[in-house]
Structure 1
Amino acid sequence: MVGGTVIAASPASAVGSSACDYRPVNSPVTKATTTVNLRNGPSTSYYSKGLLVKGIRFDPLCSRNNHLWFYGKVLDGANRGKWGWVNGHYLRSWT
């Protein structure tokens, strides 16, 4: 609430792990299977923070929407160290 007015978050607002509905005890590191967007929220309506190209490792912390979207940290590449959301269709387990 700002000045007595309720303000709702828009898709442009970053959404972190608080949006997760599943948190595994120990999730495996994954790799992007193709070039995919790293988004600031769990939907294509959120903006892209950058791209993960095929083979980039991503360490998922949690997921949302029945494992459709994963929130985690990029482990290498141009966006190394960034946190964001990746569509699970474009990730595969890697150890």
Structure 2
Amino acid sequence: MKHARRLATVTLSVSLLAGTAAALAPTASAASASTCTYNLADFDAHVDGNGINYRTGPSTGYTSKGFLFDNDRLRVYCGKGNWYYTKLTHRLKSDLSAGTYGWIRSDMLLHLAG
């Protein structure tokens, strides 16, 4: 009987800890620079296109923060696959505030020297 109680207590403790870890895990919308798999020498870039989604993470599965437009300026910090983690440094048409961080596909940018 003692062993059964101990086993039940251990099982309950493990399941509670596992549930807490799952509850504390970040959501897909919480992706940040920590999601990057490679670093880049910081460089500036211009958006090449209109109505480009500025996303919360490095894929189309993440939500859009808003849209970027031709010649909006970004500072690029790091990447994952063909996505770059950036900061909007100067906006021309975008409703997003300068200083907003987000993800954009690398082929939507014109790269400039850092």
| TM-score using structure 2 length | 0.70
User: Is 1:54 matched up with 2:70?
Assistant: yes
SS of residue paired to 1:81: coil
Structure in which a larger fraction of residues adopt helix: 2
Identical columns (%): 29
Size of the alignment, in residue pairs?
Answer: 89
1:37-89 deviations in Å (ceiling 9; x for gaps): 11000000000011110110110110111xx1000100112321100101111
Tell me the equivalent position of 2:107: 89
Q: Larger relative contact order (C-alpha < 8 A, sep ≥ 6)? A: 1
| TM-score using structure 1 length | 0.83
Runs of 5+ consecutive residues of structure 2 not aligned to the other structure? 1-15
Tell me the equivalent position of 1:27: 42
Runs of 5+ consecutive residues of structure 1 not aligned to the other structure? none
Larger C-alpha radius of gyration, 1 or 2?
2
Cα RMSD (Å) of the superposition? 1.6
Q: Which of 88, 98, 102 pairs up with 1:74? A: 88
